[in-house]
Amino acid sequence: MSTSVERFDEEARRKFSRHGQTVVHRGELLRHPVYTRVLHWTVAISFILSLLSGFAIYSAWLFRWLTPLFGGGPMTRFLHPWFGLVFEIFFFFQFLNWFAPMVWTNNDSRWMRRIRQYTTNTEKVESEDVGFFNGGQKLYFWAIVISAVLFLITGLLMWFDNLTGRWVVAVSYVIHDIAGLVMLAGFIIHIYEGTAAQPGTFRAMTNGTVTEKWAWTHHPAWYRAVTGRDPRESYEREQRRVANRERAIEEWERDQDTRDHV
């Protein structure tokens, strides 16, 4: 991406970090600066509002349950395109902000071939070539990019439906709905991966930091790049530390047992 975009992102990160703080304690690494976090949560809120209002007018069954949240049917229909527009604008900035680390590489294609091991948690630590984002995260990002483009084009065609032919509007409805369903599936997987499936990930988007242990476990190449340390060595050192600690506790317990019996 051009240097003017990089300059814009740098400037935005600098300005936002003046207003919000990211405290990085010992044993932690900065993962997402304030600017990224503000964009992420603005995108997330506008996306959820678009999703809820969209599904409210998509299905007759959901209409009954969801439209009262937005003040009734006509209001929901009125608000939905505006929520969508807010999502589009903020996601555009997130797109610029994340374009560089989201570029697809051969490492990501290799990651995709190992996706079964990833989902079944077979490996304790990720492969050494996994950088700031893994292949699955990049796939999700690019799926959002494609969906955002489709949402925008088809959304505008439906919003201003008197400007084009009826069949164009009809096709737009179908594409818009399919993109919405794909995004819903991706969103559910994303929440699971960002919370329960990978403990320690959620704080990356709240505090902005992660533990070094999290970094070498999930993104070893990024860990190596920011700390200059070998992720495998760090992992093995941690394993030895835990084993020594457990041994010490066992010895202490044995010692206590013998004392109790004397």
Least Cα distance to 127 among 4, 10, 221, 229 occurs for 221
The whole-angstrom separation of Cα 80 and Cα 165 is 22
Q: How many chain residues are in contact with ligand HEM, going by CB under 6 A?
A: 19
Q: Pick the stretch among 41-49, 52-60, 171-179, 222-230 that binds ligand HEM (CB under 6 A).
A: 41-49
Binders of ligand HEM among 57-116, rule CB under 6 A? none
Q: Give φ, ψ of 29 to 5 degrees.
A: -130, 150
The whole-angstrom separation of Cα 118 and Cα 175 is 31
Closest to ligand HEM by CB, 25 vs 261, is 25
Of 55, 141, 151, 222, which one interacts with ligand HEM (CB under 6 A)?
Answer: 141
Q: How far, in whole angstroms, is CA 203 from its chain's centroid?
A: 12
Structure tokens of 258?
Answer: 């013998």
Structure tokens of 135?
Answer: 């292949």
| 202 touching ligand HEM, by CB under 6 A | yes
Closest to ligand HEM by CB, 1 vs 163, is 1
Of 34, 38, 39, 144, which one interacts with ligand HEM (CB under 6 A)?
Answer: 144
Closest to ligand HEM by CB, 118 vs 140, is 140
Least Cα distance to 140 among 177, 102, 109 occurs for 102
Closest to ligand HEM by CB, 163 vs 196, is 196
Do residues 37 and 205 touch, judged by C-beta distance below 8 A?
A: yes
Which parts of this chain interact with ligand HEM (CB under 6 A)? 31, 40, 43-44, 47, 133, 137, 140-141, 144, 187, 190-191, 194-195, 201-202, 204-205
